[in-house]
Amino acid sequence: MTDERPKALRLFIGVRISLATVRALDEAVQVMRRGPRGELRWVAPASYHVTLKFLGWSRPEVAFALRDRVAAAVAGQRAFDLDTVGLGAFPTPARARVLWAGVDAQGGARLAELAGRMERACEDLGFAREERPFHPHVTLARLKVPGDVRGLISGCSEQVFRSSWIDSVVLFESHTKSTGSEYEEKARWSLEGDSKAARRHTGPVETEAELADELPLDEASVEDLMPEPAPEGATHTVPTHTVSRGASHDGPHDDDDEEHHDDGDQFEGPGS
Catalytic member of 49, 236, 260, 261: 49
Alpha helices, H only, 173-218: 196-199
201 catalytic per annotation = no
Catalytic member of 135, 137, 241, 261: 137
Cβ count near 67 (within 10 Å): 17
Q: What is the CA radius of gyration of the chain?
A: 18
Helix (H, G, I), strand (E, B) or coil at 231: coil
**Interatomic CA distance for residues 251 and 237, integer angstroms:** 17
Whether the CA torsion 149, 254, 260, 23 is positive or negative: it is: negative
Contact 199, 38 (CB under 8 A): no
Instruction: Please name the residues in contact with 162: beta carbons below 8 A apart, sequence gap of 6 or more.
Output: 18, 20, 21, 23, 24, 83, 84
CA angle 146, 103, 96 (to 5 degrees): 5
261 catalytic per annotation = no
Residues identified as active-site:
49, 137
